[in-house]
Structure formats: structure tokens, C-alpha cells
Amino acid sequence: MSNPEEQQSKRFFIPDFCHTQSVFIVILVAELLAILLSLARFDNENFWTILAFYSLFIQWVALISAACLCLLRGWLRNLSDIKAGTISYVIILLITLIASLLAEMIQQWIEPNIPGTKVNPVLANLMVAAILAAFWLRLFYLQAQYRLRIQAETEAKLQALQARIKPHFLFNSMNILSSLIAIQPDKAEQVVDDLSTLFRASLREHREMVSLSEEITICKHYFHIESLRLGDRMTVDWQIEGDITPYKVPSLLLQPLVENAVYHGIQPLVEGGAISIVIQATAQRLDITIRNPFDAKSHNDRRGNNVAVSNISDRLALLYGEDFTFTRQQLDREYVVNIQLPLSEQDPS
């Protein structure tokens, strides 16, 4: 029984042309284009006539394109960005083609005697449409990417802060400290050290890359606090194979995942269990697997966890594009998280 969670949050990059505001902007931009093209003719006498013709034609194409994109929006947003972009592009070109052919026919019908100009007007229209549509689609895409990035970064920051200042973690740590100060003051000192390491990490810039070994150290500090709290109910098994020194990972990549393993895996189990973290590094790729026992029955609250998971997946997508995998699997009695990353070229500084 496997149940890999699909968590691709869909954010569609093409603006919603069903909105009056967008339609207004389309009209405005189309009109600006008409003015621009009319001015480019350098024909003072016929300027207004030319503008009228251009306006009519461009508005026609632009509004029908917008209407089509509005109607197809529901379908397009379920496709990949590349497919949706290509289809939108083809639609705009088709509409331009049809409109141009119709315009040509009408013109022939009204004034059949005017001989064809040097440049085929249908082809010229198509070229203009092709260039402009490509430009706009690219612009929309970049804008959406930018927005996504800002959003993910802000979320990551906020979330990391909340993760550390998460009331139960804070209060649990305070409880541990107050117990230890009386019983084992030297261990209390160590917990203060663990806590400050964790707080320092969560206050770091979120775009920052840290060495994998640093991230592992942070996880170990975290585990130290939790092992004091959970006693012998929790064991942690690290297996590191290969040379991890060249690998850098986004700061706080693993810690939220091992925290999930503790809170959702070990803590609800009376008998506790073992968390296993296997890291395999080759010359090109890094493979990290975190396993924890999981009892679906004793479990009713998984809300907090998905926020952390989707945030990690967003950050990885920004850093590595398509070149990474991040899977979560809930097996019968076990929860497995796997991350595979390429050797990153990015320099942190």
C-alpha cells in the first residue's frame, strides 16, 4: 500500500483575461500598438485613417485572443507551463491568421482594384503577432516566476522563524531546561548550546546554501534536544556513504524533515522507534533518505507538516529547476522521504 503524495501547487503564469481589468489593459495595449504602427508609417495625411484601420484590426485580434484564453483557462492551467504557453501562442497566431485572411477578403471586396503590396500583408501580420505574442508570453512567465520566488522565500523565512518559535518546541525546550538545571546542570548547558545553534540557523538568510555537513550538525543538535525529551523511545541512525564535502544544500533543508519524523513518527508511538537517515554521495549526485516508523491509526493531525514539505519542494524547484527529486511515501508502518540533488554549481557567497 503506497501512497505517494502529489503536492505540485499549481500557479498559472498567464494572467486571467476574464477580468474586466485585464480586458481593459488588453484594449489599452492594443491601442498603443496601433498608434505605434501608425506612427511608423510616417504618413501625415492619412494618419487617422491608418490608425482607424490598425485599431480595428489589432483590437479585433487582441480581444478575440483574450476571449479564447479566458475560455480555455480552466483547461490550460492543468497543463505544464510549456504546453500551456505553446498552445496559447498557437491560438494567438491562428486568430491573427484568420483575422488577416478575413481582412484581406474584405479589402478585396471593397476595393478589388488595389494591387497587392510587395510584402504579403497576411504574412506581415503573422510576423508581428509572432514576435509580440512571444514577447508577452515570456514576460508573463518571468513575472510569474519572480512572484513565485519572492513568495517562496518569504514563506520560507516566516516558516523557519515559526518553526523555531513554534510554541510547543519552545515550551518543550524550556521544560527540558528547567528539569535539567536541577538534576544535571552540565546537560542543561548543552541544551542552551543546541538551542542557540538552531535559532541561529533559522535566522539565516534563506537563499543561503550551507555545506551538507553543517546541515547535518544542525539536525544533530535538534536530535539532542529531542532525545533528552523522549528518552530511550527515540534512536537515530545516521549512515553517510561517500564524500559529502563538495555538497552544499539550502539552509534548513533536512531539519524540518527530521522534525516531522520526530513529531509525527516517533512521538505518537508508545514504544517509540528509530529514525534512519541514509546519505549517499557520488561524484554527481546526492541521495538522502529519511525513514521513520509511522502509525496511521494513532495519527490524526498532519496539518503543520505539509506546510514545511511544500516549502522545501518550492525552494528546491527554485534552486535546481527540474533537476531534483523529492518524494514522500507513506507505507504501511513507515514514512519515507527521499531527496536527490545534483552537485550544485552555485556558490553561496
Partner 1 sequence: MKLLIVDDEPLARARLISLLNDHPDISSMVEAANGLEAIEQYKDSQPDVILMDIRMPGMDGLEAARHLAQLENAPIIIFTTAYDDHALDAYDLNAIGYLLKPVQRDKLLHSLATANRLSSDQMSKLPRAQRKFISAQVAGKLQMVALDEVYYFRAEQKYVVACHDNGELLLEETLKALEAELSQRFIRIHRSALVAMDKIAALVKTPSGQTVLTFSGIDVQLEVSRRHLPEVRKTIKQLSQR
Q: Which stretch binds partner 1 (CB under 8 A): 115-123, 138-146, 223-231, 255-263?
A: 223-231
Name the DSSP class of 252: T
Give residues 276-305 in contact with partner 1 (rule: CB under 8 A).
298, 301
Q: Which span (133-141, 149-157, 253-261, 268-276) binds partner 1, by CB under 8 A?
A: 268-276
Nearer to partner 1, 111 or 271 (CB): 271
Between 111 and 301, CB nearer to partner 1? 301
Residue 116 sits in the site that holds partner 1 (CB under 8 A): no
- Choose between 211 and 330: whose C-beta lies nearer to partner 1: 330
In whole angstroms, give the CA distance from residue 177 to residue 188.
Answer: 6
Rule CB under 8 A: say whether 230 interacts with partner 1.
yes
Q: Which residue shows C-alpha cell 478575440?
A: 64
Q: Which is nearer to partner 1, 7 or 175 (CB)?
A: 175
What part of residues 145-204 is at the interface with partner 1 (CB under 8 A)? 167-168, 171-172, 174-176, 178-180, 182-183
Q: Which pairing describes strands 334-342 and 273-281: parallel, antiparallel, or unpaired?
A: unpaired
Q: Which residues of 224-252 are buried (b: 16+ CB within 10 A; e: fewer)?
A: bbbebbbeeebebeeeeeeebeebbbbbb
In sequence order, what DSSP letters do the residues of 90-135 get, joined into one string?
HHHHHHHHHHHHHHHHHHHHH-TTSPP-SS-HHHHHHHHHHHHHHH
Q: In this structure, what C-alpha cell is assigned to residue 97?
A: 491568421
CB of 161 to partner 1, least distance (A): 16
Site size for partner 1 (CB under 8 A): 23
Among 33, 268, 317, 327, binds partner 1 (CB under 8 A): 268
- Output the CA–CA distances (angstroms, integers) from residue 19 to 59, 66, 76, in the order listed: 17, 10, 17
Least gap, CB of 298 to partner 1 (angstroms) = 7
Residue 110 amino acid letter: I
**Contact present, 95 and 61 (Cβ < 8 Å):** yes
Please report whether residue 332 would count as binding partner 1 according to CB under 8 A. no
Residues in contact with partner 1 by CB under 8 A are: 167-168, 171-172, 174-176, 178-180, 182-183, 228-231, 233, 267-270, 298, 301
